[in-house]
Amino acid sequence: MARPKIALIGAGNIGGTLAHLAAIKELGDVVLFDIADGLPQGKALDIAESGPSEGFDAAMSGTSDYSDIAGADVCIVTAGVARKPGMSRDDLLGINLKVMKSVGEGIAAHAPDAFVICITNPLDAMVWALREFSGLPHNKVCGMAGVLDSARFAHFLSEEFNVSMRDVTAFVLGGHGDTMVPSVRYSTVAGIPLPDLVEMGWTSQEKLDAIVQRTRDGGAEIVGLLKTGSAYYAPATSAIEMAEAYLKDQKRVLPCAAYCNGELGVTGMYVGVPTVIGAGGIERIVDIKLNEEEQAGFDNSVNAVKGLIEACKGIDSSLS
């Protein structure tokens, strides 16, 4: 059977890391696409030359021609611009919306059967726009954010409790922005919910609140340290986890930006919710019940995303 084909639209920091991870994990042959002359070709050749040492079988190529993504099984979209210090994700909206239009049209023309994972910020609005521009089915277009935000939360928790990250399950809902909702009640250490761990004296409520806030600010913390761009190792790893779930029909339960049709009280937009990812794409949204406080935080986050979608419609009249 032929290897799956993975198209990476955007060959910058995340795109290059995605290509390297996809190769090392032998998920399929990789095509890097970018408008920057020589960048996708250069990264593809560099990664291919790591093959003999790493011992992977995966073809690598770089291109600026959409016809080369033809028949891709998975497209991961990072095209656009990233944050610099002092910028919010929302500041990227105008520029990246235009990019989503060209990417959406490129995917629709050449890879209409692909499972599409958007990473470009502001995430929840960009994945909505990308779906609108591409016209692909809603279950085949999603956004990566919840896996990353949950991984950040899990990392901070494992440090606080001094336990293996493998035993921490953390869970972040809502839009990928300052209003995201790290769920304390649904996050556990080996199945023990965080509120129980506070009662058991493993940590204090104050420390837990600080970890929740650090999770919300996780992207900005890295932007502040790097000064030239935003995080890319963990974002790429998170998207590869989602792509692998699709390609191997793993039925993974992963939080991601999915199109809601009434689930969690949301209709007609993308927002971070727990989903099941398998060969059918987003096969299911896990319609969990939130308590009053969680629902208020989630609604606030949904409203922030709605505002961004309205702003997109104001910029591009074809979206209204």
Q: Is 10 annotated as a binding residue?
A: yes
Q: Which residue is nearest to ligand A3D (CB)?
A: 12
Residue type for position 101? K
Q: Is 15 annotated as a binding residue?
A: yes
- DSSP letter for each residue of 246-268: HHTT--EEEEEEEEEESGGG-EE
**Should residue 230 be labelled a site residue for ligand A3D when binding is judged by CB under 6 A?**
yes
- Candidates 4, 235, 255, 274; binder of ligand A3D (CB under 6 A) is 235
* CB neighbours of residue 138 within 10 Å: 16
20 as an active site residue: the answer is no
Minimum distance of ligand A3D from residue 100's CB (angstroms): 9
Minimum distance of ligand A3D from residue 82's CB (angstroms): 4
Q: How many residues line the site for ligand A3D (CB under 6 A)?
A: 35
Q: Smaller CB distance to ligand A3D: residue 27 or 69?
A: 69
Which tokens is 64 given?
């600026």
Q: Smaller CB distance to ligand A3D: residue 133 or 298?
A: 133
- 3-class secondary-structure state, position 48: helix
- Candidates 20, 83, 155, 216; binder of ligand A3D (CB under 6 A) is 83
- 3-class secondary-structure state, position 74: strand
Q: Is 121 annotated as a binding residue?
A: yes
Minimum distance of ligand A3D from residue 89's CB (angstroms): 6
- Residues between 119 and 178 with contacts to ligand A3D, criterion CB under 6 A: 119-121, 123, 144-145, 148, 176
The rounded distance, in Å, linking the Cα atoms of 187 and 169 is: 5
Tally DSSP H helices, then E strands, for the chain.
11, 14
Give me the catalytic one of 20, 110, 155, 176.
Answer: 176
- 3-class secondary-structure state, position 270: strand
CA distances from 113 to 56, 107, 117, 171, 269 (A): 26, 9, 13, 30, 21
Please name the residues in contact with 190: beta carbons below 8 A apart, sequence gap of 6 or more.
Answer: 163, 167
Chain residues that interact with ligand A3D, rule: CB under 6 A: 9-15, 34-36, 39, 78-83, 92, 96, 99, 102-103, 119-121, 123, 144-145, 148, 176, 229-232, 235
Residues placed in the known binding site for substrate: 83, 89, 121, 152
Catalytic residues: 176
